[in-house]
Every structure is written in C-alpha cells, then in structure tokens.
Amino acid sequence: MTTGEAERTNASPDPIAGDLIGSGVEGGVGDQVRAWLQRVRGGEMGALPAVGGFIVLSVMFSVLSPFFLTERNFANLMTQAATLVMLGMALVFVILLGEIDLSAGVTAGVTMCIFIVLVNVQGFNWIAALAVAFIAGIAIGAFIGFFVARVGIPSFVVTLGLFLGLQGFELIIIGSGGLYRVQIPEILAIQNSNLPVWGGWAMLVVVLAVSAGTSFWDRARRTRAGVPNRAIALVWIKLGVIAALGGIAVYILNQDRGQSVKAVQGVPIVVPIVLVILWLGTFVLDRTRYGRYIYAIGGNAEAARRAGIKVVLIRWTAFIVCSTLSVVAGLFMISKVGSVDAAAGRDLVLSGVAAAVVGGVSLFGGRGRLLHAAIGALVIAVITNGLGLLNLPAGVNYAVTGGVLILAATVDAVSRHRAGGAILRT
Amino acid sequence: MDVPLIELSGVQKSFGPVSVLKGVDLQAFPGRVTALVGDNGAGKSTLIKGLAGVQPYDAGVVRFDGEEVALHTPRDASRLGIEVVYQDLALCDNLDIVQNMFLGREETGFGTFDEGLMEREASETLRSLSVRTVKSVRQKVSSLSGGQRQTVAIARAVLKKARLVILDEPTAALGVAQTEQVLQLVKRLAEQGVAVIIISHNLADVFEVADHVSVLYLGQMVASLEVAETTRDEVVGYITGTRSQGGRAA
Ligand SMILES: Nc1ncnc2c1ncn2[C@@H]1O[C@H](COP(=O)(O)OP(=O)(O)OP(=O)(O)O)[C@@H](O)[C@H]1O
Ligand SMILES: [Mg+2]
C-alpha cells in the first residue's frame, strides 16, 4: 500500500497522521498487561523468576521451620540481606558492561581491614578512617578499570588476580588469625539499631511521595512533548503495590521482636540507606547519559564508540563505582558481624554475582536493573537464612547457592537465546 | 562546478602489511549524490569509516568546506555534520528504537532525559521514511527484522540536520517499497543541499539517484564519472577491472 508515497517531496513529517507509529503505551491496563506478557514470553523476564523463587522459598521454609515466619527472623533477614543487596547493586554497574568484578567482596573486606586498623590501632578518628577506606576502594576500582579499559585485559583475569592479591593484603594488615572488634557506635548502629516506629511509616510515605512525584513529573513532561501516556490506572496500581508490600513490611518490623523486657522494634537503619542508594543508582542508570551509555556499551560497544561515546572512560569509571559501592557493602558487613578478620569478604563475591544474576541481570551485558539485583540478593539471603534455621551444615548452603547461580545463568542464557531469535530471522 | 563539501586527496590506509587504500581521491558536493561503487573488498567501507572518524586514515588530506580537517574520532565527524549509516548498522540490540536513534546526542532537560521529546522526534523521522511495519518506537531493536533495523539506522542518520550523509549499502536488506523510499529520501536530502555519498552494488539504484559515480578498484580510484555521461556497461567495466580510465575524468 504505497500509493501516493512517491509524491512526498520533503523530509519534514507528514502532517496527516494516518500511519502513526505507536509508543508502546497505548491502550488500557489490559493491553499493557498483555504486552508485558508477550515480552516475558519473548525472553524479557526481568526479575520475574527471582520474585517467584522468593515466594516459593519463603513458603517452603515457613513449612519446614516454625521460626522462619517470625518478626525476629524477618528483621534478621533484612540485615543479613543488606550486605548482599549492596554488593549485588555494586556489581550491576560492571555486569551491565558485560564485565565482572570477582574482587568486589575482598575489596569490601580489605577496605574494612584498613578502616578498623586505622581506628583500633592507629587511633584515627573514625570518619577520617572511613574516608581513607573509600579512597582505597576508589583506588582499587581505578586499578581494575585501567587494566580492563585501557590495557584490554579481560576483567575476570584482572579481578581474579586482585581477589588473591587483596586477600594477601588483608593478611598483611590484620595478621594471620587476627581479629578486631568494631566498637564505633555509629557503624554498629547501621545494622543493629532501628528507626522509631513513626520513622518507618514516614519512610514509607517518602517512598510513595517520590514514586508518585516522578511518575506524574514524567507524565507531565510527555504530555508537553505531545506523546501519549500510559493509562493512569497503572500509576495507582504501582503506588498501591508499594503501599501494600511496604506497609506489611513496616508493620511487621514495627512489632516488638525483643526477647527480654526491653522492646526491640522498628525498621533497621540499613533499610533506608539501601533505599536511598538504590534510588540514586537507578536515577543515574535510567535518566542520565552516563547510565544510558553503560547499557549501550553492554549492548554493542562498537556501536557506542561510533556514536561518539567515550567507551574507555565509561568502562573505567564503572569499575570505580563498583568498588566504591563495595566499600559500603563492607560497612554493612562489619556492622552486622561486629568484627573484622583476615578473611573478611572472601565468601561474599560469588553470592553477590549470584544475587545480580538470580535477579535477572544478564551476564552477557546490557540487560538488568539495580532493583533486580536487590531482589536477587533477597532470594540468596532467604536461602542462607532458611538453611541456617534448619541447622543444616554450612556446606549445604555453599552447594545450594552455587547451584542457584548456575540455574540463574542458564535462565539468562536461554532467555537471551529467545530474544535473539528475532535477530536471526532477517 | 562549485566547491566540494568534502574532498579527500591521497588517502591511504593499511591493516598491518595489507594496503587497503592506496592513495584515494574523492569529492562530494552539496546538493549532489555521489555513488561509490566497487567490487567486494575494494575498500569502500574502509574509505567511509575514515570519513566517519571511526578508523582514521594513515595518510592523506581531508578538506571540509575547503579547510583541512582532522578526523580522528567519531566526534570530530559528527561535529562537522557528517552522518553515516554503516554497512553493519551499528545498533545496540538491548536498546529501543528511540534510544538507538538518539545515542550519543540525547535530549536532556533539568539534567535528565526528555524521553517524550526524543520519542516524538524519532517517531516523526520514521514517519517521514514511511515506516509502516514498526509497531512501536519503544520496541527493542533486537525484536526488529533486518530491513526494519536498516530503516532505524537510516533514520538515525537523518534525525539531525546533517551536511554530509554517507550510506553504506543502505538498501541491501530492504524490500521493494522500502528501497524506493530510501532512494526518494536520498534525492530529497540532495534537494535540501545535503551532500550524499551512497555505496551500492545495485547499479540500477545508482543510475536512478546518483549524479556522479566514483569507482574503487583494489584500493584505487579508477574512475570518476558523471552519471549523465556514462553507461552501465562502462561502470561495470571499471568495477571488474576490464577497463581503465583514459581521459574521461570529471
Ligand atoms: N579491520 C580490518 N582488519 C584487516 N583487514 C581489513 C579490516 N577491515 C577491512 N579489511 C580488509 O580491507 C579490504 C577492504 O574492505 P572493505 O570492507 O572496505 O571492502 P568493501 O569495499 O566495503 O567491500 P563490500 O562490498 O564487501 O562491503 C578487504 O580486503 C578487507 O579484508
Ligand atoms: Mg563494505
């Protein structure tokens, strides 16, 4: 049906909107749900398997252990997961590029070794020591980034080298068998103190306000540009889901979970910290050039280069972001554990990678979100937590986590294959 | 004839010991379509990748608007208003159509993307190319057919006002109607004063749109002909190397 097409003589758009191209936002809630289901069938599953896994595992452990569904264990799960959530989110920045940082866990460990030795042995002010720890984290990221982005060594080789090297460094700093207790109240508070009861509700209100605010801001902007918006009902549904799930979580965490007369209640302080970092990181990845270019490089680095993107610089800085966020994960870790030894962070990294991959962040690069890694981390944390309640030997935990990682990577590869089917069908 | 918008002289490029461009001259004029033809492996794509700053030349002079310019990075080229549709398309599969079209030159407001604005501009540009089969501009490029991908790559090149548009086999994957659309677009671009270089193996297309034909043979420019003054057989002769230019330079 090309009659009359040849008569067009200029490149400006045809004012007759006879064949408007859609925006993918047309139709009501039903159409959007169908479009989403179609994408899922096409291999874009996102965090869906992880959410499913989380529910199945939770039901399973609730049946197997009477302690799983207690307020105490729920709060415990949050704080156990926090370190992994942070590390998983840190890793997303490099995994999106199709790279990996196997040293992220020991980066968390070694920077905390530096931190604790400076405070406990050298008598540093803890804030100054923390600054040094962050500088060390940035330096590690810059080191990895240099060798990967500038020299061109595969990232798994560089970071595997650092995984070993930094463990040696930990041993040198701490000494074999050495152990330092964390005695800084502010650091301990992150994982061991809670918001007041009203604070938890206030947090939820802020989350809802920010979510509603960005949704309506985006809609206003699209309207100004003259393009259609999704059905407004979807915004209300999203806010409703956040309110319901968040409300249940805050309500449970606000119950007294103490074992003695003194009440222990409230949302652990680490939760709002994680939410802020999650929001900031998502903002950067979704709405700024830096984030968009990370996805572009992960999808097709040569196309990104031809589009004028400074590929080397972005690869390099992504490793710095990863290492810096790993330091935050380290802080969560020592706050929870209460001490630092020479093996700090050694077991962390594979769980961190597993968190990202289980959550639906593709190891092939270019696909995934920070929220996915956070959900994946919750799945890994549920496994660790649940198996712990069942008093199974620690070995079982390693085996199950490893198995879940391979399973998730398989789902990743298969769904990538399905999404790629369209490319081959030219 | 007036001043060429772009003028290459004595351009050379080798990959290791293999010399691919052996001192090539090429000109393109505003408002005119220059076809670049030659057999597989003649060096056509290599020549235009140098112009795009993607694979800089080893030697030779490039003049833009009469002034000598250095094309070392893709940014150098896009700053001059050179847009390229690559033979291998260079799209990011994981991004959607709008994101691909605006990659490297996103519209922002308040420091963040103005997605609505980009979506509208992308949509309008695609419509001007009479794209009918794409359902949504927010579709991932991985879900598009080969021809649709090619259209997106072309749309990307004409999205912003360019001064020189280079198309490396832009119609190779296109159907009859879409090919006609692209050829119409090439003519329209030239009418608007844009200099166009088009690479094609389809001589019928070349004779339909081009004003001028340059023939590359094994890394050397063997002929430079006005379309009005040449024939298909003559061009084929130069492409296959059975003919070499006597005195008929343009
Ligand atoms: N990056 C590279 N490294 C080594 N050799 C290359 C490279 N790029 C191109 N070549 C060689 O340069 C020659 C010219 O390649 P080019 O892609 O420019 O040909 P072409 O004229 O575009 O051919 P086609 O019509 O097949 O697209 C070929 O022999 C090719 O093998
Ligand atoms: Mg070519």
Choose the weakest-confidence range: A9-13, A204-208, A297-301, A408-412. A9-13
CA-to-CA distance for A385 and A64, rounded, in angstroms? 12
Q: What is the pLDDT of residue B188?
A: 86
Give the range with max mean pLDDT: A144-158, B2-16, B198-212, B215-229.
A144-158
- Chain A interface includes B150 (CB < 8 A): no
Q: What is the DSSP letter of B141?
A: G
| CA dist., res. B149 & res. A300, Å (int) | 14
Sequence-separated (6 or more) residues with CB below 8 Å from residue A263: A256
> Which pLDDT tens digit goes with each residue over B194-237?
899 999 999 989 999 999 999 999 988 888 888 888 888 888 88
Partner A contacted by B142 (CB < 8 A): yes
Residues of A in contact with B93 (CB under 8 A): 299-300, 366, 420, 423
Kindly give, in sequence order, each residue whose CB lies less than 8 Å from that of residue B175, ignoring residues fewer than 6 positions away: B147
Q: What is the pLDDT of residues A179-232, one digit of tens each?
A: 999 999 999 999 999 999 999 999 999 999 999 999 999 999 999 988 888 888
Check: CB of residue B185 under 8 Å from CB of residue B151.
Answer: no
Residue-level pLDDT at A418: 67
Q: Which ligand is nearest to the CA of B44?
A: 1
Residue B172 touches chain A, beta carbons under 8 Å: no
Please tell me the predicted confidence (pLDDT) of residue B193: 87
CB contact under 8 A, A11 and B180: no
**How far is residue B146's CA from residue A48's CA, in Å, rounded to a whole number?**
30
Q: What is the second-level CATH architecture of the domain A52-179+268-418?
A: Orthogonal Bundle (1.10)
Residue B249 has pLDDT above 60, yes or no: no
Measure in Å the smallest separation between the Cα of B220 and chain A Cα atoms.
26
A18: pLDDT strictly greater than 70: no
Mean pLDDT within A108-133: 95
Please give the pLDDT value at position B245: 67
pLDDT for A213 equals 94
HSE of A69, CA atoms in CB hemisphere, 13 A: 11
Name the most confidently modeled range: A48-57, A331-340, B223-232: A331-340
Check A21 against B86: CB less than 8 A apart.
no
**Nearest CA to A14 among B185, B147, B128?**
B128
Distance CA A309, CA A302 (A): 10
Section B102-129 average pLDDT? 88
**Distance (Å, whole) CA A20 – CA A227:** 11
To which residue do tokens 């649709």 refer?
A: B148
Whole-number pLDDT of residue B35? 93
Average of per-residue pLDDT across A93-117:
95
State percent of chain A over pLDDT 70: 93
User: What is the mean predicted confidence (pLDDT) over A333-355?
Assistant: 91
Tell me which residues have their CB closer than 6 angstroms to ligand 1. B 15, 18, 20, 38, 40-46, 87
- Asked if the Cβ–Cβ distance from A221 to B114 is below 8 Å, we say yes
- Amino acid letter, B87: Q
Q: What span, in angstroms and rounded, lies between the C-alpha atoms of A194 and A74?
A: 14
Tell me the average pLDDT of chain A. 88
- SS3 call for B249: coil
The minimum CA-CA distance between B199 and chain A, rounded to whole Å, is 19
- With tokens 């999106």, the residue in question is A96
Which atom of ligand 1 lies nearest, measured to the CA of B38?
21
ipTM field: 0.90
CATH top-level class of B6-93+161-240: alpha beta
Please report the atom of ligand 1 found closest to the CA of residue B87: 27
- Looking at ligand 1, which residue's alpha carbon is closest to its atom 7? B15
Test mutation, B93, B145, B196, chain A, max A CBs within 10 A: B93
- Per the model's pLDDT, the better-predicted residue between A260 and A92 turns out to be A92
pLDDT over threshold 90, residue B2: no
pTM of the model: 0.91
For ligand 2, the distance from its centroid to the CA atom of residue B202, given in whole angstroms, is 13
Residue B54 contacts A where some CB pair is shorter than 8 Å: yes
Flag whether residue B106 sits within 8 Å of chain A, measured between CB atoms.
Answer: yes
Of B104, B116, B191, the CB nearest to A222: B116
Q: Residue A419 — pLDDT band, cuts 50, 70, 90?
A: low
Q: How far is the CA of B24 from the centre of ligand 1 (A)?
A: 15
CB contact under 8 A, A309 and B126: no
The sign of the dihedral angle between the CA atoms of A15, B78, B16, A299 is negative
**Statement: residue A425 has pLDDT above 50:** no
Is residue A5's pLDDT more than 70? no
For residue B127, what are the contacts with CB-CB under 8 A and spacing of at least 6?
A: A13, A14, A19, A20, A21
What tens digit of pLDDT does each residue of B21-63 get?
998 999 999 999 999 999 998 999 999 999 999 999 999 999 9
Atom of ligand 1 nearest to the CA of B201: 25
> Which of the ligands is closest to the CA of residue B20?
1
Query: How far away, in angstroms, is B87 Cα from ligand 2 center?
Result: 6
Ligand minimally distant from the alpha carbon of residue B21: 1
Chain B contacts of A302, Cβ < 8 Å? 90
**Alpha helix locations (H) across A175-232?**
185-192, 197-225
In chain B, where are the structural domains located? 6-93+161-240
The rounded percent of chain B whose pLDDT value lies above 70 is 97
Residue A41 binned pLDDT confidence (cut-offs 50, 70, 90):
confident
Tell me how far apart the alpha carbons of residues B130 and B133 are, in angstroms, rounded to a whole number.
Answer: 9
Which one of A9, A22, A420 has the shortest CB-CB distance to B188? A9
pLDDT at A264: 86
Residue of A161, A370, A345, A200 whose CA lies nearest to A277 = A370
Range of lowest pLDDT (A129-133, A153-157, B109-113): B109-113
Q: Flag whether residue B111 sits within 8 Å of chain A, measured between CB atoms.
A: yes
Cα dihedral B171, B174, B179, B182 in deg (nearest 10): -60
CB-nearest partner of A296 from B95, B134, B191 = B95
Using alpha carbons, select from B205, B83, B82 the residue that is nearest to residue B155.
Answer: B83
Q: Do A303 and B135 touch (CB under 8 A)?
A: no
pLDDT at A344: 86
pLDDT, residue A253, reads 93
CB count in 10 Å sphere of residue A154: 12
For residues A312-317, average pLDDT: 96
- Token couple for B207: 């004779």
Whether B119 sits inside 8 A of A304 (CB atoms) is no
Contacts of B146 in chain A (CB under 8 A): 426
- The residue ranges of every structural domain in chain A are 52-179+268-418
Instruction: For helices A270-287 and A185-192, give the axis angle rounded to 10 degrees.
Output: 80
User: Does residue A125 surpass a pLDDT of 60?
Assistant: yes
Give A423's contacts in chain B (Cβ within 8 Å).
Answer: 93, 142
Mean pLDDT in residue range B177-190: 86
Q: Distance between CA atoms of B50 and B62, rounded to whole angstroms? A: 10
Query: Exposed, middle or buried, A23 (CB in 10 Å: 0-12/13-18/19+)?
Result: buried
Residue-level pLDDT at A215 = 93
Please tell me the distance between residue B70's alpha carbon and the centre of ligand 2 in angstroms.
23
